[in-house]
Amino acid sequence: MQIATWNVNSLKVRLPQVIEWMQKSNCDVLALQELKLDNANFPIEAFTSLGYHCVFNGQKTYNGVAIISKLPIHDVYMDMPSFDDPQKRVITATINGVRIMCVYVVNGESTTSDKFIYKLSWLENLTNYVEESLNKHEYFMILGDFNIAPQDIDLYDPIEWQGKVLCTDEERSAWGKMINLGLSDSFRLFHVEPKNYSWWDYRNFAFRRKLGLRIDHILINDNLKSIATQCEIDIEPRKNERPSDHTPVIITLNV
């Protein structure tokens, strides 16, 4: 079973790329972030006509998350139960016995911004939700655009990024609290080498120059860790014409 995450930075713009990638990759489940469209405009038929199931939690212009699956989707929950948030950033569902939480974490903008304070509060509430979910489900993963580079190895230039949003001590501490609940960064189970990135700025030929960050992640509990066989970053979609600035991350499970 293959499960992937991809911030598509506008599903309206990237829909043909998403469908093409799903068909070429033979992925079973794809979690999407940054849809940038509301539920009324979600392209349901584009997926269902090809045999996919889909659930979504959209928002006009900003945010929005979805799960697309070849397999039936059960027990869907929108948002976080203990956090009243108008921004649509979380959707959770069960597929083939695996509880999947798709998240689009707040960016934070800058350390002096109110959005940064909001990000830290949001992450605290997310961690509580993850802890509750871990206690309820045998197989659990949280995946998506975390807007956090956990270690310096996940940055093309740690000195340039030191103290900036996406890699501050506060954000990395929040990441650590979540990991310490009993989760593993699935990509690092299989890859310990540097220069593996999932996001590249559109500016300054960043992708061509390999100036990226690894901020898209798949975190898994111990039961999934025992059956995970691979986790890869597929950089090919970033080469598309009008690509997302992110690219898919895919985990393979022996399910």
> For this structure, is 145 an active site residue?
yes
Residue 61 is predicted with a pLDDT of 97
Domain count, the chain: 1
Residue 162: domain span: 2-253
CB 1 within 8 A of CB 255: yes
Give kind and range of the element (H or E) at residue 124: helix 114-136
* 70-82 residue pLDDT tens: 999 999 999 999 8
- Determine which one of 79, 145, 154, 185 is catalytic: 145
Output the domain CATH number for residue 199: 3.60.10.10
Token pair, residue 73, equals: 């989707």
Which residue bears the tokens 């972030």?
A: 33
Active site residue 104: yes
pLDDT-based confidence at residue 10 (cuts at 50, 70, 90): very high
To the nearest 10 degrees (0 to 180), the angle between helices 169-179 and 114-136 is: 10
Given 28, 52, 104, 156, the catalytic residue: 104
Interval 14-30: pLDDT, tens: 999 999 999 999 899 99
